Amino acid sequence: MVSRILIANRGEIALRILRACRTLGIEAVVAYSEADRESLPAMLADEAICIGPADARRSYLSAPALISAALVTGCDAVHPGYGFLSEDDAFADAVRAHGLTFIGPPADVLDKFASKAEVRRLLATHGLPTVPGSGLLADEEQALAEAARVGYPVLLKPSAGGGGKGMRMVRSPRELAAVLPICRSEARAAFGDDSLYLEKWLEDNRHVEIQVAVDKYGHGVHLWERDCSIQRRHQKILEESPSPAMSAAGRKELAERAIKAVVAAGYENVGTLEFLVDSEGNAYFIEINCRIQVEHPVTEMLTGIDLVATQIRIASGEPLGFAQEDVPQRGHAIEFRINAEDPAHDFRPGAGTIERFNAPGGPGVRFDSHAYVGYEVPPYYDSLLGKLIVWAPTREGAIARGRAALSELIVDGVTTNVAIHRALLQSEPFLSGKFTTNLLDRVGGAAFLAAAERPG
């Protein structure tokens, strides 16, 4: 097992990794940018080291700074968290070249699974259905031809992307031509890679993902699904499990196909296979995330399995240590992403100092957050301030707990999206479980909030 990990990330996930390290008896060093000097993970870590200025390109996205920090602080491993360099095979390779363990898939596995377009082809050969789509788009001409082939509307996607960033839905050849160079430069800025591909846009779909864990010895299990259909602008804001849209037989079949395919394709470590599920219940594989997901606690609540600890153990070369029958899917869990953003004003991100703070608690409630009284939310990074996860034996119970917990949550000094969660817990489509990924974007955040306030 590794003995000292550099946490090459920030915010709630840095804290989450720190907790896994502590539980495993591993020392944790937090790498922080100047903007995160007063952050909770930096304060709670065994050691904290400043790696650069607020600008992520010179700190959390700087492979040399992170590796240098790991070496200077005597670490033997690096945990990349999510986002930033978490799925960068060159970073994973450099980490290994300096004698450090990368907590995630080995560089060659990351490399193999880095291109979304390639992965779709690979996993299709191992039995996963995929959305009709293109390979990498060399130029505008090819993009137009591919779009014509699969049929408009299409979704333009960065091959190196994640978290919904840089994706655009396009309805016509003219729009495609206009948007293509913009997407390319956004992809380059966000991921350092401007490769794009496109997929058929499935109207009224759901977003369901299967969590998997595979050790170095080819032993893999799935940890059931998460339904991430509640999104705004392609970004998830609420996730739950089990998916209210899937039958017991349907989820079991999909999960089993997924784990079989990724093991056969040579995947290693924890990962998530994302699917679109259409109104007839057909699932189409769209991408794999080779890292811990923001929404991993949903799965932890249902299975009792610590996914970050599992990730560290696998990367250290340990066998998985449990079998498929040891992975229950017990009760129902919902995660609410608490973002520093204003749902009434187009989800505009906010920053500021937290003046008062109260975290929800009690039975079946988990709140993963780096917030505290006096914390200054920096304006430089993503807006995720915390994750409220509730569990109960039934979906109805989890919804009731969610309402109760949201009523306890206090974050003063920074605008948050709590109102959108309250509105969701009053909205008929959510309560009935009959919703698709466009629930919020169809009307917009402000209109959705207003509708929730109307009686009846």
Partner 1 sequence: MPATNRTGDIAPAERTPAERAADHAALARLADTLVPALAGKLGAGSLGEIEIREDGWAVRVRRSAPDAGRRASDRSADRARHTGLPGHTGPHAPHAPAQAPVAEPVASSDGPVHAAATAPVVGVFRPGLSVGARVRTGDRIAVVDLLGIPQDVAAPVDGVLVEVLAQAGDGVEYGQEVAVIEAAAPKAAPAAPSTDGEG
Would you state the torsion angle of the CA atoms of residues 411, 413, 419, 421, taken in this order, to the nearest 10 degrees?
Answer: -40
CB of 2 to a copy of itself, least distance (A): 16
Residue 385 DSSP one-character state: E
**38 contacts which partner out of partner 1, a copy of itself, none, CB within 5 to 8 A by kind?**
partner 1
300 interface partner picked from partner 1, a copy of itself, none, CB below 5 to 8 A per type: a copy of itself
Q: Candidates 55-63, 234-242, 259-267, 398-406 — which segment interacts with a copy of itself by CB under 8 A? A: 398-406
- Per-residue contact string for residues 356-375; x = within reach of partner 1 by CB under 8 A: xxx-------------xxxx
Based on CB atoms, which residue is closest to partner 1, 301 or 384?
Answer: 384
Residue nearer to partner 1 on the CB measure, 143 or 377: 377
Interaction pattern, residues 23-52, with a copy of itself; x per rule: CB under 8 A? xxx--------------x---x--------
Helix (H, G, I), strand (E, B) or coil at 178: helix
Active-site residue identified among 120, 206, 226, 291: 291
Length of the chain: 456
Distance between CA atoms of residues 110 and 88, nearest Å: 7
304 binds, among partner 1, a copy of itself, none (CB under 5 to 8 A by kind): a copy of itself
Query: Closest distance between partner 1 and the C-beta of residue 355, in Å?
Result: 5
175 contacts which partner out of partner 1, a copy of itself, none, CB within 5 to 8 A by kind?
A: none
Listed residue (422, 437, 269) closest to 336, CA to CA: 422
β-bridge pairing 384-392 and 332-339: antiparallel
Q: Does 401 bind a copy of itself (CB under 8 A)?
A: yes
Q: How far is CA 209 from the centre of its chain?
A: 10
Binding pattern for the stretch 20-59 against partner 1, x by CB under 8 A and - elsewhere: --------------x--xx-x-xxxxxxxxxxxx-----x
Place of tokens 């060399």: 138
- Which pairs from 385-388 meet CB under 8 Å and 24+ separation? 385/12, 385/338, 385/339, 385/340, 385/411, 385/414, 385/416, 386/12, 386/338, 386/359, 387/12, 387/294, 387/295, 387/297, 387/335, 387/336, 387/337, 387/338, 388/335, 388/336, 388/338, 388/360, 388/421
Partners of residue 356 on adjacent β-strands: 412
Binding residue count for partner 1, defined by CB under 8 A: 39
Q: In 3-state terms, what secondary structure has residue 213? A: strand
Residue 181 CA, distance from chain mean position? 26
Name the residue nearer to partner 1 (CB basis): 302 or 384: 384
Residue 363 found at the interface with a copy of itself (CB under 8 A): yes
Query: Among residue numbers 69 through 98, which ones bind a copy of itself (CB under 8 A)?
Result: none
User: With respect to a copy of itself, which residue has the nearer C-beta, 250 or 397?
Assistant: 397
Per CB under 8 A, 304 contacts a copy of itself: yes
Give the one residue of 186, 194, 300, 341 binding a copy of itself; rule: CB under 8 A: 300
Separation between Cα atoms, residue 34 and residue 443, nearest integer Å: 39
For tokens 């065994």, what's the residue? 46
Whole-number minimum distance, CB 315 to partner 1, in Å? 22
291 annotated active-site: yes
Residues in 381-410 at the binding interface with partner 1, rule: CB under 8 A: 410
Residue in 4, 19, 22, 71 binding partner 1, rule: CB under 8 A? 71
Could you give the CA distance from residue 416 to residue 185 in angstroms, rounded to a whole number? 30
Distance between CA atoms of residues 437 and 110, nearest Å: 28
Q: Other CB atoms closer than 10 Å to residue 194's CB: what's the count?
A: 18
Q: 1, 22, 68, 163: which one contacts partner 1 (CB under 8 A)?
A: 68
Q: What whole-number distance in Å separates Cα of residue 334 and Cα of residue 360?
A: 14
Look at residue 65 and give the partner it binds from a copy of itself, partner 1, none, a contact being a CB closer than 5 to 8 Å depending on partner kind.
partner 1
Q: Are 148 and 181 spatial neighbours (Cβ–Cβ below 8 Å)?
A: no
Give the number of other Cβ atoms within 10 Å of residue 209's Cβ: 26
Q: Which is nearer to a copy of itself, 404 or 452 (CB)?
A: 404
Binding characters for a copy of itself, 239-278, by CB under 8 A (x = yes): ----------------------------------------
Measured from the CB atom, the residue of 143 and 307 that comes closer to a copy of itself is 307
Beta pairing partners, 130: 285
Is 223:299 a contact under the CB 8 Å cutoff?
yes
Using CB under 8 A, list all residues that contact a copy of itself.
15-16, 19-20, 22-25, 40, 44, 297, 300-301, 304, 306, 330-331, 357-359, 361-369, 372-373, 391, 393, 397, 400-401, 403-404, 407-408
Using CB under 8 A, list all residues that contact partner 1.
34, 37-38, 40, 42-53, 59, 64-65, 67-69, 71-73, 98, 352-353, 355-358, 372-375, 410, 412-413
Active site residues: 291
